Structure 1
Amino acid sequence: MNMTQLFNQVTMNKPTLKRTVLMSMMAVSFGGISLSAQAQTSAQPSQQEIEQLRQEVKALRALIEQQQVQQKQTSQVVAKIQEKAAAPAPASSPVMKLASGAEFNLYGNIRADASYQAEGGSATRMYNQINAVPLEGSGERSDEFKSTLSATRLGMDFKAPVGAGDKALSGKIEVDFLGGAGLDNLRIRHAYISYANWLIGQTWSNFAVPDYIPETVDALVYAGGSIKRTPQVRHTSTFSPATNLVLAVEDPKDATITGIKQRLPALTARLNHKFADNLSVSARAMGNEKRVNEDEKMAWGVGLGAKYEVVPGTTLKADYYHVKGDSSFVSYANTGVVAADGNLYQSEFDSITVGITQQFNDKLRGTLGYGYMNFDEDQAYINAVTDKTKSNKDLWQAWANVFYSPTKPLSFGLEYVYGEREALGAATNGSTKGEDNRINAVAIYSF
């Protein structure tokens, strides 16, 4: 490659560089001419001029080398950009669209649960049953391993345009296999449609919401909480971005009450308020009529829940209920109404759950929780109960768990739980206490 070719390649599309190199080359040329002329007039050229010429050549060489390095770096950046552009785009969520404009999104999980029951337990059921664990020495199923995939879930969200404007009808259908006594039958979890501020169908009860319950590995809630889903008609009024009021009429079916007749739905109200980005609260109220053998009593209840993020990654949750005459909304309650001697007697209780969740990193989190239920010892109610070993004075459970998610679709959980119940009456051996002592594990693949 001659000097002209090198000059053109180095200074290609670089006007500033071209001028710099040209001036340097001219300086070299003029230096040569000057040196030649001086050689004709003097036998010994100036040492100062020779050294200046060497410096100019050295500077030109350094400039050329710098340009070569810059060209190499530019080529590497361009190659990376081209490689990234050629890479396939990440997979989008599985949304199906119809010609009518309706959209469907399928989701779900495959869930495998396992449990080792050290103490307590009843029949083959592996999920929480603290209110009915056998009393000590009376039909316990201890030292037993159990497993199931009944909590595997499949769901579909949908949205469709309705009429003019940008309003849309949306909804959800979700099922699992936790229905029936055997816990292996298909059941409806959620099935509802919503439009504007209205919702019609089955979803979480407006009174017994799960938002403030500490996380568990167990697919069911522990003592003091509720995961009730009811058929309902609901309306939401938004007062501000931080405050809304939800009113609903719900089906308060209560299978624990013998001979119950349902004439009216339950009325529920929930006021939600967010004080700050890290603190939200919910106040609830409920009322419904209980009819047994043409006699009737009003059942009622109030609830208060709070969620507080102490610092990023550390969250406190608490949920409180006071309920009289109802056993349908809050889990593990005594029978709400008992008929005896032509009268109706009501159960009354207080319950609370508290817990703290720590997000250690984006893959690991853990929870410590405690739940407690205390039932009013109304002697008239106690006398009306036929089998006092199946009703309780109080229940409590404490648990600790960790969840690990190595990748987004996979999650593994491990949990230890211990709890006790104190029955209203003693078993034949004189025991009134039942224990729940077990280790739970779960593996979930979500899609």
Structure 2
Amino acid sequence: MKAKIKNTVTAVALCLAASTGAAQAATIGDTSVKFTGYVKVDAMVSDYSDGTIASGSVGRDFYIPSLTPVGGVDEDPQFDAHIRTSRFRFATSTSTPTAEGDTINGVFELDFLVTSGGDERISNSYTPRVRHAYLTYKNWLVGQTWTTFMDVGSLPESLDFIGTTDGITFARQVMVRYTNGGLQLALENPESTITPFGGGSRITSDDSSVPDFVAAYTSKYDWGYVKVAGLLRQLSYDNAAGIDADETSFGVSVTGKYNLSNGDDIRFTFNTGKGLGRYSALNAVNGAVLTESGDLEAIDSTGYGVAYRHKWSEKARSSIMFSAFEADNDVSLTGLATTESTYSTRVNYLYSPTKALTVGAEYAFAKREIEAGLEGDMNRFQVSAKYAF
């Protein structure tokens, strides 16, 4: 009975301490619990040359390359503000090792991005969503987290949710991953995105019979690191009405970070492959297109990005970024409305008066062109305030 009361008091103390920032960890029974996260407020003004992004679209909250309008009419700039990227994270570990001397760790993290909720008229409420939920034991990770094909360390410090969006690989999904030193091998949840013959709305298919396979190796040096990753997967579509097609997809990614002697750094990304689809540039193009006979033909694509971060002082820094994406579409199959290329560039200034608080401003320019030759661009100015705990 005393043990139960003690654990209850400890749990309450943990919640109170986390809410006040006084402490972030406690031990409950045989488990060490840590609570972290941040509150982030974003406000932005976006101006599109050829149309607009509809109210409520995720493209109003952060940059998505394939949503930059093309071929429309120039409208007035749009102002948006939200707290969607705010998040909280629980990390646990066994404070008492197992009989073999190992520990078991778990992570559970939520935020409010790309979810429904109250509208902007009254409540501005957002439904929480699961970002990460996984456990680690010895060399193994099981659960949902960043795909092994991605490199979080190469992402720039940006007010935008991602920054070098056109040039990265990005996904979170369920997996089983084995890690030994710099080597990682993973089997991950599959999903295929397909363009109908002649173009049209995206087909999202969960018909693959095997998981996606990723192998990656990270080499660390005095100046930074380089990560090389390879992806092999099956693209599948079975509509139970005459189409039952499979296609092999593969890709390679090279990413890393170079630290300069003055405290600055350069971060870089490169990916290319056949049928990368949802893995590249937030699914700027699909992994494959249906042929007239009902087969699948993978779509080739390449993305790259670079970011340079300069430290003005211990409290201030700036990053300048550029990223681009190109797809090799067979327009006789995809039609002319699909994205051919995108690129974006941005520059920011961030200031942290104290370690837990960061304020900043960022300007971004983006351009998109479709196979029909129509193009459009975006100018966006964004300010943010972030409190990390």
TM range (shorter): 0.7 to 0.9
- Find out whether 1:385 has 2:314 as its counterpart: no
Q: Which runs of 5+ in 2 are unaligned?
A: 1-20, 118-124, 195-201, 239-243
1:354 to 306, 319, 322: 306
Partner SS for 2:331: helix
- Find out whether 1:198 has 2:140 as its counterpart: yes
2:91 to 149, 154, 157: 157
1:122 to 38, 42, 53: 53
Q: Which residue of 1 aligns with 2:185?
A: 247
Offset of 1:440 from its aligned partner? Answer: 1.1
2:168 to 208, 225, 229: 225
Residue pair 2:191, 2:235 contacting (<8 A) in 1 also: no
- Find out whether 1:237 has 2:180 as its counterpart: yes
Task: Give the whole-Å Cα distance in 1 for the aligned partners of 2:332 and 2:212.
Answer: 28
Q: Which residue of 1 aligns with 2:214?
A: 268
Offset of 1:213 from its aligned partner? Answer: 2.5
TM-score, structure 2 length as denominator?
0.82
1:141-194 deviations in Å (ceiling 9; x for gaps): 541100111111011111013521431101211100013367933111111100
Offset of 1:115 from its aligned partner? Answer: 0.7
- One-letter code aligned to 1:348: D
Offset of 1:370 from its aligned partner? Answer: 0.3
Which has the greater radius of gyration? 1
Residue pair 2:220, 2:226 contacting (<8 A) in 1 also: yes
Structure 1 window deviating more from structure 2 (111-120 vs 173-182): it is 173-182
TM-score, structure 1 length as denominator?
0.72
Q: 1:446 to 1:438 in 2, by over 3 A?
A: same
Runs of 4+ in 1 over 4 A off after TM superposition: none
Task: Give the whole-Å Cα distance in 1 for the aligned partners of 2:77 and 2:275.
Answer: 37
User: Aligned pairs, how many?
Assistant: 339
Residue pair 1:214, 1:353 contacting (<8 A) in 2 also: no
Whichever structure has more helix as a proportion of its residues is 1
Q: Which runs of 5+ in 1 are unaligned?
A: 1-90, 239-243, 427-431
Task: Give the whole-Å Cα distance in 2 for the aligned partners of 1:312 and 1:269.
Answer: 34
Task: Give the whole-Å Cα distance in 1 for the aligned partners of 2:148 and 2:37.
Answer: 24
Offset of 1:92 from its aligned partner? Answer: 6.4
The sequence identity of aligned pairs, in percent, is 24
1:146 to 36, 57, 80: 80
Task: Give the whole-Å Cα distance in 2 for the aligned partners of 1:252 and 1:211.
Answer: 24
1:215 to 157, 162, 175: 157
Task: Give the whole-Å Cα distance in 2 for the aligned partners of 1:146 and 1:297.
Answer: 41
1:374-428 deviations in Å (ceiling 9; x for gaps): 1124xxx322225x32x211111011011111112211121000010110125xx
Structure 1 window deviating more from structure 2 (338-347 vs 261-270): it is 338-347
Q: 1:135 to 1:181 in 2, by over 3 A?
A: farther
Task: Give the whole-Å Cα distance in 2 for the aligned partners of 1:184 and 1:220.
Answer: 20
Residue pair 1:209, 1:228 contacting (<8 A) in 2 also: no
Q: 1:227 to 1:443 in 2, by over 3 A?
A: farther
Offset of 1:326 from its aligned partner? Answer: 2.7
Offset of 1:255 from its aligned partner? Answer: 5.1
CA RMSD of aligned residues (A): 1.9
- One-letter code aligned to 1:152: S
Structure 1 window deviating more from structure 2 (297-306 vs 334-343): it is 334-343
Residue pair 1:398, 1:419 contacting (<8 A) in 2 also: yes
- Find out whether 1:329 has 2:279 as its counterpart: yes
Whichever structure has more strand as a proportion of its residues is 2
Offset of 1:136 from its aligned partner? Answer: 4.1
Task: Give the whole-Å Cα distance in 2 for the aligned partners of 1:245 and 1:268.
Answer: 11
Partner SS for 2:84: coil
Task: Give the whole-Å Cα distance in 2 for the aligned partners of 1:349 and 1:130.
Answer: 14
Residue pair 2:151, 2:227 contacting (<8 A) in 1 also: no
- Find out whether 1:376 has 2:320 as its counterpart: no
1:244-286 deviations in Å (ceiling 9; x for gaps): 100000113245651621211100011000122x221000000
Task: Give the whole-Å Cα distance in 1 for the aligned partners of 2:158 and 2:192.
Answer: 25
Task: Give the whole-Å Cα distance in 2 for the aligned partners of 1:179 and 1:397.
Answer: 21
Task: Give the whole-Å Cα distance in 1 for the aligned partners of 2:26 and 2:274.
Answer: 47
Task: Give the whole-Å Cα distance in 2 for the aligned partners of 1:136 and 1:164.
Answer: 65
Q: Which residue of 2 aligns with 1:443?
A: 385
Task: Give the whole-Å Cα distance in 1 for the aligned partners of 2:168 and 2:260.
Answer: 22
Offset of 1:338 from its aligned partner? Answer: 1.4
Q: How does 1:302-313 map to 2 (within 5 A)?
A: 302-313=252-263
1:186 to 128, 142, 167: 128
Offset of 1:292 from its aligned partner? Answer: 1.4
- One-letter code aligned to 1:283: V
Task: Give the whole-Å Cα distance in 1 for the aligned partners of 2:75 and 2:84.
Answer: 21
Offset of 1:317 from its aligned partner? Answer: 0.9
- One-letter code aligned to 1:245: L
Q: 1:163 to 1:346 in 2, by over 3 A?
A: same
Residue pair 1:136, 1:435 contacting (<8 A) in 2 also: no
Q: Which residue of 1 aligns with 2:349?
A: 402
Q: Which residue of 1 aligns with 2:250?
A: 300
